[in-house]
Structure 1
């Protein structure tokens, strides 16, 4: 892959360059010292992947990500000193279109930092190739946890998202108090090391609690349940949730397709499948399975998607009964499932 580095700290940029240069299959095509320079270099020589720092002069990594995704979109991996200390910035960057986040090897104080970064880059490479390259990333148009295994679950809202997903999920669920008997499950493409941070951040945006799913948990109402593993979230006939490594060669982890197919196969009540912004095709076939099982299916429209990949694939398969802008999806969920008075 052709890789661009955006980092104003000379030692950090050099560390990243050396990690990339240590492999034969990747090359650094440019190094930007400011966010403005990163936006310009992406337009002049678009790489396959940008390693984006959060804190840079002139333009920070969040705004640089947003402008790159609007003007010359490509895969972006946030690489910053201590991601856990910049949770709000990280999720703003993910909402603007970054795919994932990891720590800068030289700053995290772990001997395997370079190995972790290279593993992330390999994952990005799989995603890009599986999605048909960066050409497929079109610019946008301008509290206490409830008791597990609630036996009274009769409705399920299943949400799948990737690039730009954290902000999209928070917007469609903001201000909503689902009625008794309605469970909400979110499958967001995010590394398991950051899933807990995602759940805490999402909980700060919503009026109902959010928690990650442990293996063996059951569907329950009054809380947003979030997948937390790089393995795939599954649902069985008894409404137990768990994780499965198979299919092991699937680039998208956790897979929206895997969970949506489980919902189609096992959920006996009324379910709504929502496929939000994201790169690639994950979730489209699962959404189709849900529609064929008689459930309601919704895809986000192109104008409001950070990357119109996953929703586009669903539309092409005729998997979505409704294709809606982001600000219409929340009201549709309320009208479909109701609200707690």
Structure 2
């Protein structure tokens, strides 16, 4: 490695320390999740010190407009996740189609979708488990509207590492399969409408800072 490359690497590491989020929030959503995601970010302040990674079930052939839509709901920068990106505070990262997303030492790692023996890919569980392993008690999982049970085993992993789990109240979800499955674990800390979740996150921040 030459000196110039080494200096750039040191600088990027320094910048990462300065921009390190207090918590990383994984938001999992599937069918009917767009409205819930928008409601969440509409009330989430842009300067909380937290980072957000949104994991949706995306059609491989459909161009997602999530980045454009979310940019109208938040003053935080909204990024389409790229392999190797640092996850920085006060920023939102969106999973791309046909990919699974994991965290490793605060960086985004993208890989091709890997389906199980039933031909099913569970991107929310995959991300939540890596979030738990990478961030420990600084990991927060949020499950919003969707069918099926993606996110449920990931919440178990988050709670094993003493992270926090929030789930959309079933009555407000367009599709309640994912919220209902997550709630049935008995491990969820808060069950709320999406627009009320940011206040609870800020309350967590205040508690951590006062300790």
Determine which of 8, 24, 33 is the counterpart of 1:165. Answer: 33
- 3-state DSSP of counterpart to 2:37: helix
Query: Which residue in the other structure is 2:146 paired with?
Result: 278
Structure 2 CA distance, aligned partners of 1:224 and 1:214?
Answer: 12
Structure 2 CA distance, aligned partners of 1:175 and 1:324?
Answer: 13
Query: Which residue in the other structure is 1:150 paired with?
Result: 16
Deviation at 1:234, TM superposition (A): 0.8
Deviation at 1:175, TM superposition (A): 3.9
Give the aligned CA root-mean-square deviation in angstroms. Answer: 2.3
Query: Which residue in the other structure is 1:217 paired with?
Result: 85
Query: Which residue in the other structure is 2:54 paired with?
Result: 186
| Equivalent pair of 1:288/1:318 in contact (CA under 8 Å) | no
Alignment of 1:218-237 (within 5 A): 218-236=86-104
| Equivalent pair of 1:166/1:202 in contact (CA under 8 Å) | no
Q: Which has the larger radius of gyration?
A: 1
| Equivalent pair of 2:136/2:163 in contact (CA under 8 Å) | no
Structure 2 CA distance, aligned partners of 1:220 and 1:324?
Answer: 26
Alignment of 1:262-341 (within 5 A): 262-268=130-136, 270-337=138-205
Distance 1:201 1:192, change over 3 A: farther
Structure 2: give runs of 5+ residues left out of the alignment.
1-11, 207-211
Query: Which residue in the other structure is 1:123 paired with?
Result: none
| Equivalent pair of 2:114/2:121 in contact (CA under 8 Å) | no
Distance 1:187 1:241, change over 3 A: same
Alignment of 1:105-116 (within 5 A): none
Distance 1:269 1:220, change over 3 A: farther
List structure 1 runs of 4+ shifted beyond 4 angstroms.
Answer: 192-196
Q: Give the aligned length.
A: 190
Q: Higher relative contact order by CA 8 Å / sep ≥ 6: 1 or 2?
A: 2
TM-score, normalised by the number of residues in structure 2: 0.80
| Equivalent pair of 1:278/1:307 in contact (CA under 8 Å) | yes
TM-score, normalised by the number of residues in structure 1: 0.51
Query: Which residue in the other structure is 1:46 paired with?
Result: none
Query: Which residue in the other structure is 2:5 paired with?
Result: none
- Note if 1:260 corresponds to 2:128: yes
Alignment of 1:11-160 (within 5 A): 150-151=16-17, 152-160=20-28
- 3-state DSSP of counterpart to 1:150: helix
Structure 1 CA distance, aligned partners of 2:61 and 2:89?
Answer: 26
Structure 2 CA distance, aligned partners of 1:195 and 1:293?
Answer: 35
- 3-state DSSP of counterpart to 2:66: helix
Query: Which residue in the other structure is 1:239 paired with?
Result: 106
| Equivalent pair of 2:48/2:202 in contact (CA under 8 Å) | no
Structure 1: give runs of 5+ residues left out of the alignment.
1-146
| Equivalent pair of 1:278/1:309 in contact (CA under 8 Å) | yes
- Note if 1:248 corresponds to 2:119: no
- 3-state DSSP of counterpart to 1:267: helix
Distance 1:207 1:214, change over 3 A: same
Structure 1 CA distance, aligned partners of 2:63 and 2:23?
Answer: 25
| Equivalent pair of 1:159/1:275 in contact (CA under 8 Å) | yes
- Note if 1:207 corresponds to 2:75: yes
